Amino acid sequence: MNPDLDALKPYPFEKLAALKAGVKPPEALGHIPLTIGEPQHAPYAAALETLHRHQHEMARYPATAGLPELRRAIAAWAMRRFSLPGLDPDTQVLPVNGTREAIFAFVQAALDRTRAARVAMPNPFYQIYEGATLLAGGEPLYLDCHAENGFRSDINAVSTDTWRNVQIVFVCSPGNPTGAVTPLEDFTRLIELADEFDFIVASDECYSELYLDEAAPPPGLLEACAQLGRHDYRRCLVFHSLSKRSNLPGLRSGFVAGDAALIAPFKRYRTYHGCAMSLPLQHASVTAWQDESHVRANRDAYREKFAAVTEILSPVMAFPTPEASFYLWPAIPGGDDEAFTRDLYAEEHVSVLPGRYMSRDGTDGSNPGAGRVRLALVAEVEATVEGARRIRRFLERR
């Protein structure tokens, strides 16, 4: 077997299962999981109807490049959403089976093992950035996200010598688990650094449509390129998904867009990888990308939950004011996120994710996720509010 497999760290949910092993929660209380970021709102019905209408096309092989109408729908959506002057659906867009698969595959295709191969990523982070780097023979570079920097990667703290060995920089905006939004000036600075040190900026924007202020949608990397007049999106790629936007995680549908010089070899890699999206799923995706009304309704539902949970928990927990995504990132009184998680499960039958499980020790030896937990507000409002009430009850007893 590939010896690099031994470098993979246990997944956060493996650690969580081990932490909870042997703990007996109260049988009278139903379990409320606030751990996995899997949307529980109803999936977009029109997309499912389209899927059923095209189910006969399961009899055909799909092309790696995807249907022209899907690429056009994606390009049109991205241009509307991010005020882009243009996005060529034939050369600058590639449909993929969700951002997770695409992010992992892109690192395998892009990383050059013949030279120093560091991949910068936010810390805490989505585990796939690290796993993809390790299996591609690269070295993760963890950019700590602390409260004093708005829970964003401090790119200005990276030395010139370090930048010289970086091949890819991952941005996650809105952030998982922090919910922090990367401003346009940070994207602009990364583009300047990419030109100076010849690396790729890969922006994971799968939470971009879940924002709390309807008048302030999170900006994106391609939007920053457009404002710079960089219409070839050189050295820049974005990753988007229907999972959160349209409550369709099982559809496994997303796209990669940006620099045509990066899209072309990545498409060639994917042809050998054999991961083209099935045709019924592509047709359903066209329907989803062409509608915004269900997305606005989805945001409204998350706003309702954030408001209710904030009212319940803010008197007993400190957390950054949410900007986007569907997570809360509260600090734990006492600072022991593992003990908090285990005891909360034991006493209130509520599951949360310790922040340290999503982070690595930083340059100063500390873990930037330690002392916090991630709460995924993905269930319907009643269950989410009940979970918040149990957490408050647990804290007030202490």
Q: Quote the CA–CA distance of 174 and 4 in Å, as a whole number.
A: 30
Contact between residue 253 and residue 98 where contact means Cβ atoms under 8 Å apart: yes
Q: Is the pLDDT of residue 365 over 90?
A: no
Contact between residue 245 and residue 237 where contact means Cβ atoms under 8 Å apart: no
pLDDT of residue 398: 85
Q: How far is CA 59 from the centre of its chain?
A: 32
Q: Is the pLDDT of residue 363 over 80?
A: no
Q: Is the pLDDT of residue 20 over 80?
A: yes
Q: Is the pLDDT of residue 47 over 90?
A: yes
Q: Is the pLDDT of residue 23 over 80?
A: yes
Q: What is the pLDDT of residues 120-129, one digit of tens each?
A: 999 999 999 9
Q: What is the pLDDT of residues 215-227, one digit of tens each?
A: 999 999 999 999 9
Mean pLDDT of 299-319: 96
Mean pLDDT of 293-318: 96
Mean pLDDT of 257-274: 96
- Whole-prediction pTM: 0.96
Q: Which of 141-145, 208-212, 222-226, 364-368 has the lowest mean pLDDT?
A: 364-368
Mean pLDDT of 49-74: 96
- On average, the pLDDT of the chain sits at 96
Domains located in the chain, CATH noted? 3-42+294-397 (3.90.1150.10), 60-291 (3.40.640.10)
| Structure tokens given for 341 | 């998680």
What are the φ and ψ backbone dihedral angles of 108, each rounded to 5 degrees? Answer: -65, -40
Q: Could you tell me the pLDDT band of residue 274, with boundaries at 50, 70 and 90?
A: confident
Contact between residue 283 and residue 51 where contact means Cβ atoms under 8 Å apart: yes
Nearest to 376 by CA among 313, 338, 342, 326: 326
